[in-house]
Structure 1
Amino acid sequence: MTWLRTPILRRATFAGDDHLREIVVTGASGFLGRALMAELSHGGLPAMGVCRRALNGMHRVADYRDTPSADVLIHLAEEPDRAVANRVDAASCDQSDVIRRLSARAGKIIYASSGVVYGDNGRAPFATDHPVHGYDLYSRLKIANERVVLDAGGTVLRLANLYGAGMSPNNVISDIARQIPGDGALRIRDDRPVRDFLAVTDAARAFALATKATVRGILNIGTGKGHSIGQVAKLALEVAGQPRREIVATSPSGKPSVNVLEVSETLRRLGWSSTRSLRDYFLQVLSR
């Protein structure tokens, strides 16, 4: 493979490494990782994908500390399912040492964090200077790793709720998509939470732009718009031509829960905004 040289990327030098890769992506076999590898390739920025499984075209490592050095290293290799991460022992989830090692081996590190660090009491979209809260293992892990990346002069991208082809079946968008078209009531756990839903392809484009930009610090990657779970379910039924089907919340909390990301700074600094919509996704589901 020929590694393209783009002048906007700063060439890093590391003693004893004669084969530096311009872009390396950890967790490249995951949901976002696959989308990002495709986006980078499409944009003429071939990257080395790193994962812990033996897959064609991927560089396999037993430990992400052994990831090859890079001009730009994008770290996606963490458990994306918040519920799963919160069930794992804290000691085995502490990734800070991994991040430190990766930061030392990269000219620039870009870290995939999450908008959940803001909490869910947003009366307005969360800007990057809003206080963050470590209220569970997952959010504490993200906050700790963000600090390491920022101390290394890297870039933190706080992601909204991702959806798209190949996503985990254990999320609300997957659950709704499985029920269209269908018969009887469309069932969701809670219809009240309001979230910022972002297409994984849009998220991948943001990471690709970040590899070429001189942006450092924290950026939000979302749509800037919130939809309640009930609104998403209603949209899915409209797209499916079944607007009269009942929507049933099986375990309503009765509490407000809002997490939407403010993205005007991202547009200004990165030149990025979302282009895909949930309607597009549900149309795609129905066309399969």
Structure 2
Amino acid sequence: MNICQKKVVIFGGTGFIGTHLLRNLTAQPNLKVLWTKRPTTPLPDIPNLPAPRQFENLETVSIDWISDADVIIDLASSGRGRAISQRDVLSRVSPHLRIIDGLLNVGSKAHYIFLSSGGAIYGNDDSVLLSETARCIPQTEYGLEKLIIESALLCAAETTLTTSILRVSNAYGIGQTNKPGFGVIPTLVKSLEDGEVFKIFGSAHAKRDYVNVLDILRAIDATIKTGGAGIVNIATGKGTSIAQLIALLEELTGRTVNVEHCEPLQNEPNFARLDISRAKNVLGWEPQVSLREGLAQLLKKTTLL
């Protein structure tokens, strides 16, 4: 390895954000990228992509293999799990805690970057604008998973590890999976393409903060360069309702969404705007891709434009 290169290890490199991140980081000559994937997961189509280490899950990742990493980027998660009838928080968090404990036990001085959830971790709060110091009372198992791992990393930061926790709001962009619990935008675009019914659970005026994957990549780049950033909200600070999102897509495509109104889902957190002042001050980061621009880029990859 070139002495000037940083060794970067990525967990969760075949997911939506992970694939974009692999493409971005492997193109940077100052970084030596190592990444993991499950044996059954197909390789992403990325030029000059280094061969991955294949592990069934984080429980089987070798601590020796990552002990000399300069940067570790943890994107791995079991997903939102809305269709699962029984809670199992332990299985969601223990693989991450094993990695953190293992790194501490060997005295690793890595910079551990964890992608948390700005949409799920705060829960319901009456505040209009949420900063990183707001209380966190997650309403879902997914949010609780993120909060527990955050707490472990904050404790680890008191020893040898350097930590950065990026609380990313609702991510969207090219390549996002269309399946329940993985984003309203791909589901809405698919409904437009196929003419299928788009189900609105609860109010069409419920708002979310949609941040483009390209802006998320820029935030990760800034975090690698900055070093330990602590907890940082990565969002736009703006809310868009389902009704506004539908209207924008209809305007861009000239098509009409076939809508069905349904009862609200349980444990859905209320919307509160995320304060991104700290991201601006600590990382020198702020979003650059508007929702209109991001949707237009996404639509060009479909039959709608």
Q: TM-score, normalised by structure 1?
A: 0.82
Letter in 1 for 2:9: V
Letter in 2 for 1:51: K
Q: CA deviation at 1:278?
A: 2.6
- What runs of 5+ residues in structure 1 fail to find an aligned partner? 7-20
Letter in 2 for 1:164: G
Partner SS for 2:36: strand
Is 1:156 the equivalent of 2:173? no
Which segment is superposed worse, 79-88 or 121-130? 79-88
* Alpha-carbon distance change, 53 to 120 in structure 1, aligned in 2, over 3 angstroms: farther
The Cα RMSD (Å) is 2.9
- Pick the aligned partner of 1:280 from 285, 293, 296: 293
- Pick the aligned partner of 1:49 from 24, 35, 43: 35
Q: CA deviation at 1:247?
A: 4.8
Q: Percent identity?
A: 27
- Pick the aligned partner of 2:177 from 163, 168, 183: 168
User: What residue is the counterpart of 1:200 in the other structure?
Assistant: 213
User: What residue is the counterpart of 2:11 in the other structure?
Assistant: 26
User: What residue is the counterpart of 1:216 in the other structure?
Assistant: 229
- Pick the aligned partner of 2:23 from 38, 43, 46: 38
User: Which whole-Å CA distance do the structure 2 matches of 1:169 and 1:120 have between them?
Assistant: 26
Q: Is the 8 A contact 1:266 1:272 kept in 2?
A: yes
Q: Is the 8 A contact 2:236 2:276 kept in 1?
A: yes
User: What residue is the counterpart of 1:139 in the other structure?
Assistant: 143
Which segment is superposed worse, 50-59 or 116-125? 50-59
Which segment is superposed worse, 108-117 or 98-107? 98-107
User: Which whole-Å CA distance do the structure 1 matches of 2:84 and 2:32 have between them?
Assistant: 31
- Pick the aligned partner of 1:68 from 62, 66, 69: 66
Is 1:266 the equivalent of 2:298? no
Q: CA deviation at 1:61?
A: 2.5
- What runs of 5+ residues in structure 2 fail to find an aligned partner? 44-49, 158-162
User: Which whole-Å CA distance do the structure 1 matches of 2:138 and 2:264 have between them?
Assistant: 24
Q: TM-score, normalised by structure 2?
A: 0.78
Q: Is the 8 A contact 1:188 1:247 kept in 2?
A: yes
Letter in 2 for 1:119: G
Letter in 2 for 1:35: H
Q: CA deviation at 1:145?
A: 0.6
Q: Is the 8 A contact 2:123 2:269 kept in 1?
A: no
5 Å-filtered alignment, 1:63-142, equals 63-64=60-61, 66=63, 68-69=66-67, 70-83=69-82, 89-95=88-94, 96-102=97-103, 105-115=108-118, 116-142=120-146
User: Which whole-Å CA distance do the structure 1 matches of 2:200 and 2:283 have between them?
Assistant: 36
* Alpha-carbon distance change, 137 to 183 in structure 1, aligned in 2, over 3 angstroms: closer
- Pick the aligned partner of 1:180 from 189, 192, 196: 192
- Between the two proteins, the alignment pairs up a number of residues equal to 272
